[in-house]
Structure 1
Amino acid sequence: MTSYVSHTTVDCADAYGLSRWWQAVLDYSEDPDDPNEPGHEECLIRSADGRHRLLFVEVPEPKRGKNRIHFDLRPAEGTRDEELARLTGLGATVVDDLRNPDGTGWVVLADPEGNEFCILRSEGELANRRS
């Protein structure tokens, strides 16, 4: 017998606002049978294939310190740097820039509530490096 991850839960102050932000970042959607609404204390979004789900749950405590778990994002198209520009345009902030002159590395970002995540190079960038 084994288990599987039903969804990943993100504690936050504004479940609706943060779910909408991540929905734009990941191109996820909400459940049409249970739409997210302003003021909801729990908001769920899911990938197009429904296999990955994120649940945003409002908690009274503010975020403190570094996340113990975080997302590593890889651009579905374009480059890491193009995706970095898109994400900062959506309101992400750069926490640490760990890019190297040879193109390797990543950038640590924070979402509007301070939850850290990383942006890696795209599969295309990785393939170009190997050839």
Structure 2
Amino acid sequence: MEAAIVYLCIAFIITTLALVLRSDLPRWRGLNRETLAEVIGHRSSFHNNAKSFAAIYRFTAEGGIHEVIDQVYSGTPHPPLGTIVPLGYPFGRPDLARPPRPLLWLFIYAVLVFLLAMLVAKAIGWLD
């Protein structure tokens, strides 16, 4: 039973890593663009009985006006309305624009790879 759970967790981590990589591959292929966006609002959501906010950005790029919602929620509406924020996006994909947060994404990848390594080590008997 323990082996089944370990293998199920390995499959889950690999799937999660693949989904995160899939959304980041266009950024890694190069030809990234930068633009300035204005905060035009905040999307609110409830998580664990607490209200969270994600900024809504509007910018002009690639011949049109685009709006994107930040992927990171916070406990307060931040940044304030009207703030100009730099966003980065892959060439031809302004719908994937987001504020640059390299340390956050590095941390996410590091945690996923570490968990995968520990689970694989457990599965092959190195952590018995």
TM-score by length of 1: 0.24
Rg larger in structure: 2
Q: Which has the higher contact order (CA 8 A, sep 6+)?
A: 2
- Larger proportion of helix: 2
TM-score by length of 2: 0.24
